[in-house]
Amino acid sequence: MSETITYLKQQVRKNIQTYAIILAMIVIWILFSFLTEGRYIGAQNISNLFRQMVITSFLAIGMVLVMVTGNIDLSVGKLAGFVSVVVAQFQANIWFHYIPNRELLTTVFSVLIGIAVGTIFEVLQGYLISYLHIPAFIVTLGGQWALNGGIMIITEGKTIPANQPLFSVIAQGYLSPNIGWVFAGVVILFMVFSTLQGRRNKIKYGFKPLPMLIEVLRLIALAALIVIYVAIVNNYNGVQIPVMLLAITAVIMSYVSTNTPVGRYAYAIGGNREAARLSGVNISKNVFNIFVLMGLMSGISGVVLASYVGYGTIAAGQGYELDAIASTVLGGTSTLGGIGTIFGAIIGSLIIASLTSGLQMMNVPAAWQYVLKGIVLVVAVYADVYLKKNR
Amino acid sequence: MSNDFILDIRNVTKRFPGVVALDDVSIKIKRGEIHGICGENGAGKSTLMMILKGVHPWGSYEGQIFYDDHELKLEDRSIRQASEEGIAIVYQELTLVPNMTVGENVFLGREPRTKTGINWNKLYSDTQKILDKYHLDIDANALVKNLGVGKMQMTEIAKALSENAKILILDEPTSALSEEEIVHLMEILKTLKSHGVTCIYITHKLSELFRITDTVTVLRDGRVITTQPIDKLTEDALISHMVGRKIKERFPKGNRKPGKEILRVEDLRAVDPDDNSREVIKGASFNLREGEILGIAGLMGSGRTELVSTLFGEYGRITSGKIYLDDQEVKIDSANHSMRLGISLVPEDRKKYGLVLIQDIQKNISLANLDKFSKWFKIDFNAEIKKTSEFAEKLEIKAPNLFVACQTLSGGNQQKVVIAKWLMSEPRVLIMDDPTRGIDVGAKYEIYKLMNDLAENGIAIIMISSELEEVIGMSDRIMVMSAGKSRGILEPKDFDQEKIMAMATGY
């Protein structure tokens, strides 16, 4: 038992930043719940809140890794926007001519094309940044402008609809309550299985696994969160499909960042580029890889965006890159590189969505929403600096 | 209290969570003397400096410090207050702005003003006055980035003196200096002394204590072991005070038996990769045998670091000459390639080139060797921990566990982490660029022993060193370099400090 407590204390100290930001989020929720007389915490709002954060969250996931390598990507907002208008263009004007009435096929093609466009654009930018050594800030600023132009060319200033029912499911669909519960069950089983697998591996190598009590507590806590979440959203329409996609992507990318050489090298490059280089890490190749992943995320984000709003417009993706950067920074990613987690970025993104949603419910004018969000961002980062200094 | 002492540290105890960094430390420092402080890493020297600098403010430690007859009460993080009191510190890592001139750096933050801006004329003439007064041979208008390390340090000293420092604290001032520059620094310190400036001289290098100090205090494990006039001490006595045990010899004798040739370099020439007109290696030839330690001696800027990093595939562009590994010609184009051929480099300046300081020991050790634990793009954490802890144990890295950030380790342990990283890559040729710079006697000894072990197991070692005693003590043969050229290889019978210096300074 004492072992358990020491372990918990250690974990708290080690991840104090993560806990602090989760705490901040809970405080925000409680505050808005009071201010809106409970409407904020209602099933409908919670459901919408999580849905609203999805598009920037995809970008934030990619941005964490980009920033961990010590780079930045200012083009991703417009890239998602560009992807969304390309997809809308295909949906509205192209499939109709070549493969009419094949909704499943056209939806699959739209998704693939969207992801490909995002990835190819970042392949290009990644090449310029990592192999030609042009600073990422400049390349991606140029990229942002070019994409903005691209959006204008494709839309010709008009709104392009992208609202075929099947395509709309990607961002607007819900799992029926029963399937939602099945999904939750599968996730929980997977967690139990991977925990047991992890313990077995440790024992195989002759290490002492964590006390069973801790593992059980951890599993129960996570399972409880999932069950509560599903119960809440089932009260409204069910588990949101885009949120499910985001969760799966986040888990995969989180795995990539911690359990693969690609991720490990990214952190090493951001932590000390020279040391990584002299350790035989191919800096150019690895930075390039990270930008390609960013492109993949931007592609997914753009497809979800098109499906979410149901059309492609000239303003698509405007300013999303900054929301994504703010999310990562709120989530503890260092602007200097070497530090940051995907989980943190998701929480950061959720905080921003929570603020926006709360302020909207309280009918705060848009102008003041910006002012307040700006203040929260800066204060939150100061709190982080302060915590680090006085740990 | 007597006015003979400018600084009187009385019973100072400083605790950190779980550690007592300074334990009832009392030191009296006489006005106008050069007071050496030595001790192994972790002995408490830096904590003491942090207190004198105000990083650990008054009230965060027990005990009292009297300075010039009043109690020194520095407020939190008020470094300016320390300098206003007349306490100045010249850091081990220089803290100058490279793109500013000497004058601008000297007066940084305290620029003389006119009504509307900075009084540049006064700034430069005041700087020049200080430089003249203390015989510091630098141009006040020179850009700091164009100066050598020695002159940068002089600038730093000038900066301290411009604040009317009464006590100048020098923290490992010679760790980056060549022999010539050290001689020059000693001259400067003597000049300072004649002007009545008190110096506290912190160093690992015992020979310097004998060269320059009047009194020496030895710290160990946060306690003062002894304070004595230097002429009452011997080098052996100092070492046993520092390590708390007798070290019979500073350089352990190995039982090395050099075998067949493994590496041969013939008349290598290379240019700076960023500036093809600048030739950095102007003809280097040597060979290296299995199980041998080849020392490379030479002054800073003699091309020694450039030579080894070119061999490692990470610096110079080779214009002519050949490298043979096992009699096969090789063209090494990257660190990765070099590692695959079995050549590893422990780079100079571990903080800058060796470690990702914010990451833990385990990640640092495994960084160069991830492919050993990775299958299908997945790192096997258990295998990684197992292998890294094996190496950490073998090298006796002292840390609570493998998951503490490298920035919290002492210099010696940091260096061991870098070495562990490279040993894990199973090299046949291990190049070590100044492996013991800035680490304490005990840790040095351990690294020497390790080098012997490795060589006895057939690994060929190239060791660059700035300390002649070390090169002579550890090498089977010594190659001397100067001005980018190898000047010849000495056999043990010719190992002689003066001979090496003569070759290293001859152009």
* A352 shares a domain with A285: yes
Residue A186 pLDDT grade (very low, low, confident, very high; cuts 50, 70, 90): very high
* A339 shares a domain with A285: yes
Q: Mean pLDDT in chain A? A: 90
Residue A64 pLDDT grade (very low, low, confident, very high; cuts 50, 70, 90): very high
A 89-148: CB under 8 A from B: none
pLDDT of residue B1: 45
Tell me if A144 sits within 8 A of A77, measured CB to CB.
Answer: yes
Residue to substitute from A194, A253, A272, A289, interface B, most B β-carbons within 10 A: A272
Report the distance separating Cα A120 and Cα A136, nearest Å.
16
Residue to substitute from B60, B311, B359, interface A, most A β-carbons within 10 A: B359
Token pair for B363: 């990640």
List, by residue range, all CATH 3.40.50.300 domains of chain B: 5-243, 249-342+427-507
Give, to the nearest 10 degrees, the angle between helix A16-35 and helix A2-14.
Answer: 80
Give domain status of residue A38, yes or no. Answer: no
Tell me if A108 sits within 8 A of A99, measured CB to CB.
Answer: no
- The secondary structure element, H or E, covering residue B13 is strand B5-16
- Sheet containing B62-67, strands listed edge to edge, beginning at the edge strand earlier in sequence: B19-30, B5-16, B62-67, B70-71
* A302 shares a domain with A371: yes
Q: How far is CA B278 from CA B316, B321, B426, in A?
A: 10, 17, 34
As for how many domains chain A has, the answer is 2
Question: Can you give the residue range of the structural domain that contains A350?
Answer: 44-173+257-389
CA distance A278 to chain B (A): 6
Token pair for A147: 């994409």
Q: Residue A100 belongs to a domain with what CATH number?
A: 1.10.3470
Report the distance separating Cα B505 and Cα A152, nearest Å.
68
pLDDT of residue B259: 84
Residues A279-296: what's their mean pLDDT?
94
* A68 shares a domain with A147: yes
Give domain status of residue A119, yes or no. Answer: yes
Complex ipTM over 0.90: no
Round the CA-based radius of gyration of chain A to a whole number and report it.
22
- Sheet containing B167-171, strands listed edge to edge, beginning at the edge strand earlier in sequence: B87-90, B167-171, B198-202, B34-38, B215-220, B223-229
Give domain status of residue A376, yes or no. Answer: yes
B5-243, CATH topology level: Rossmann fold (3.40.50)
Nearest CA in chain A to B368: A279
CA distance B103 to chain A (A): 31
* A284 shares a domain with A307: yes
* A169 shares a domain with A51: yes
Among the partner residues B352, B359, B379, nearest to A267 by beta-carbon distance: B359
Tell me if A263 sits within 8 A of A65, measured CB to CB.
Answer: yes
**Given A239, A266, A286, which residue is the final one in a domain?**
A239
- Per-residue pLDDT tens over the stretch B119-155: 888 888 889 988 888 888 888 888 887 777 778 888 8
A268 part of contact set with chain B, CB < 8 Å? yes
pLDDT of residue B281: 86
Looking at per-residue confidence, does A299 or A332 come out higher? A299
pLDDT of residue A204: 82
Give domain status of residue A285, yes or no. Answer: yes
pLDDT of residue A254: 93
Q: Which residues of B touch A261 (CB under 8 A)?
A: 370-371, 374, 377, 379
pLDDT < 50: residue spans in chain B? 1-2
φ/ψ of residue A269, rounded to 5 = -65, -45
Give domain status of residue A103, yes or no. Answer: yes
User: Residue A307's CB: how many other CB atoms inside 10 A?
Assistant: 30
- Considering Cα of A60, then A353, then A339, then B309, what sign does the dihedral take? positive
Among the partner residues A204, A268, A280, nearest to B336 by beta-carbon distance: A280
Report the distance separating Cα B393 and Cα A90, nearest Å.
61
* A201 shares a domain with A146: no
* A380 shares a domain with A296: yes
B274 part of contact set with chain A, CB < 8 Å? no
* A360 shares a domain with A300: yes
Among the partner residues B335, B354, B370, nearest to A261 by beta-carbon distance: B370
φ/ψ of residue B303, rounded to 5 = 95, 5
* A195 shares a domain with A279: no
Report the distance separating Cα A213 and Cα A207, nearest Å.
17
CA distance B493 to chain A (A): 36
φ/ψ of residue B2, rounded to 5 = -70, 145
* A261 shares a domain with A133: yes
CB contact under 8 Å between A275 and B356, yes or no, is yes
A280 part of contact set with chain B, CB < 8 Å? yes
Q: CA A135, A288, A116 angle in degrees (round to 5)?
A: 110
Give domain status of residue A76, yes or no. Answer: yes
On the 0-12 / 13-18 / 19+ scale of CB atoms within 10 A, B327 is exposed
Q: Which residues of A touch B345 (CB under 8 A)?
A: 278
Number of A to B CB contacts under 8 A, please give it.
Answer: 83
Residues A198-225: what's their mean pLDDT?
86
Report the distance separating Cα A268 and Cα A45, nearest Å.
40
- CATH hierarchy code of domain B249-342+427-507: 3.40.50.300
User: Does residue A59 surpass a pLDDT of 90?
Assistant: yes
Q: Which residues of B touch A276 (CB under 8 A)?
A: 356, 367
pLDDT of residue B506: 63
φ/ψ of residue B269, rounded to 5 = -130, 140
* A195 shares a domain with A168: no
Give, to the nearest 10 degrees, the angle between helix A103-130 and helix A165-172.
Answer: 50
